[in-house]
Structure 1
Amino acid sequence: MSLLSLQHMKTSIGQYHVLHDVTFDVPEGGVFVLLGRNGAGKTTTLRSIMGLWTPSPGSVLFEGADISGLHASAIARKGIAYVPENMGIFGGLTVEENLVLATAKGKFDPARLKRIYDLFPALEKFWTKQAWSLSGGQKQMLSVARAIIEPRRLILIDEPTKGLAPAIIDGMAEAFLEVGQTTTILLVEQNFNFAKRLGQGMAVIDDGRIVHTGSMAAFAADTKLQDQLLSLSA
């Protein structure tokens, strides 16, 4: 059984029909990548899974149970975290305060905090700094750290490399590979080189519909298909 299964999911925002018939499965473990051109529906898919927008009709199955229609807070309590494209951190709070807010009981598990320090040493260095003063890469680290400060079954991550320097992207890739050993990641990403480095499975969305699914290795080897579906040469 897949950890996450989207079945004929449709989402409308006002008068606009953004997702038309989104169907794909995310297996448990590792990194699954959702690719697509700008405006194809990638972010809407993540937001619909998280309950920020309600798909209708269609269903979102998590561990076999239908979670479509649940409030975002109820979905989060099932073990799903969301790292939005805008990072969703609180600029006026310190690194420590941002992470405290993401804990279930307002205190840290020492082992999980050490893991975050190991993944993102800059966060320990700037522990008492307000989040607004961090660099773009450090803010992204903090956003991901908030998602993993508590045990999660699934993390939805939207465009984490946008605007980041190559050295920061390399560090982020290593962190995601480590996190993916214990937590499933559904990653939306425009940087194909980053995506193919991480992903095991993948799907391509275009105009609100899934047009291709398969293994990342096979897709990365087929430049003709990449050009056809993504209009890029990888």
Structure 2
Amino acid sequence: MTLLSLQNMQTKIEQYSVLHDVSFDVPEGGVFVLLGRNGAGKTTTLRSIMGLWKPNPGSVTFRDQDITGLHASDIAKRGIAFVPENMGIFGGLTVAENMILATANGKFDQTRLERIYTLFPALKKFWDKQAGTLSGGQKQMLAVSRAIIEPRELILIDEPTKGLAPAIVNAMAEAFREISANTTILLVEQNFEFARSLGRDMAVIDDGRVVHRGTMADFVADKPLQDRLLSLSMFEEEAE
């Protein structure tokens, strides 16, 4: 079943056209990965889905309902969360205060909170610490936790492993596997090893256009296609 559908989506930022006719479907369940070179339009795609930038023309459909042009807060109320590349946490607030701000009514569902503690034990340890004092990996854990403290059907996550140590990346992968068992994830990621370990379906965007759609398994098996669409640089970085 299709959960999210983008049809002929175009987005302009000021006078510049960034997305050109972007179309793909995200099936319900698991992890859908959006790949592409730096500057290809991946982040713009996520922000356009979330209503932070307005696609025109084109449409964004979530559970067969048109959400194109809705305010980001209204989109969030429909069960979609966004974890931006800059994580979006408040450094001057404690971990607890950051989490409270992400709840609907300022109160935690204890079952969900305990699940987050299981996924990210460091958050319980640093619960009363200022978020700005956390390591990069801990901040990313907090950002993801904020996205799942309320029930969500879809989470958009932008470059979650950027700058993280390998051990933290592995822990994040395990957490994403568990989260995606109940919540669909649309993931933008440059770390191809991380992306292919999680992704079931995928698309590649280049110069604001979708140039490939398919399963991750088929894409992994086709090295010439990887090299052509993503360039060797991504894979060389992972091998270092």
Q: Per the shorter chain, which TM-score range?
A: over 0.9
RMSD across aligned C-alpha pairs, in angstroms?
A: 0.7
Q: Give 1:221 deviation, angstroms.
A: 1.1
Residue 9 of structure 2 corresponds to residue 14 of structure 1? no
Helix, strand or coil at the partner of 2:23: strand
Distance 2:195 2:123 in 1: 24
Distance 2:94 2:131 in 1: 5
Give a deviation string over 1:141-194, Cα, whole Å, max 9, x none: 000000000000000000000000000000000000000000000000000000
Distance 2:109 2:77 in 1: 17
Distance 1:144 1:91 in 2: 15
Q: Give 1:12 deviation, angstroms.
A: 0.2
Q: How does 1:64-213 map to 2 (within 5 A)?
A: 64-213=64-213
Letter paired with 1:160: P
Q: Give 1:231 deviation, angstroms.
A: 0.1
Number of the residue aligned with 2:44: 44
Letter paired with 2:172: M
Letter paired with 1:73: S
Q: Give 1:37 deviation, angstroms.
A: 0.2
Question: How many percent identity over aligned positions?
Answer: 76
Unaligned runs of 5+ in 2: 236-240
State the TM-score, normalized to the length of structure 1.
0.99
State the TM-score, normalized to the length of structure 2.
0.97
Letter paired with 1:36: G
Distance 1:12 1:77 in 2: 25
Residue 29 of structure 2 corresponds to residue 29 of structure 1? yes
Distance 1:177 1:37 in 2: 24
Give a deviation string over 1:73-105, Cα, whole Å, max 9, x none: 000000000000000000000000000000001
Distance 1:58 1:15 in 2: 18
Letter paired with 1:23: S
Q: Give 1:207 deviation, angstroms.
A: 0.4
Aligned residues: 234
Structure 1 residue ranges (4+ consecutive) displaced by more than 3 angstroms after TM superposition:
none
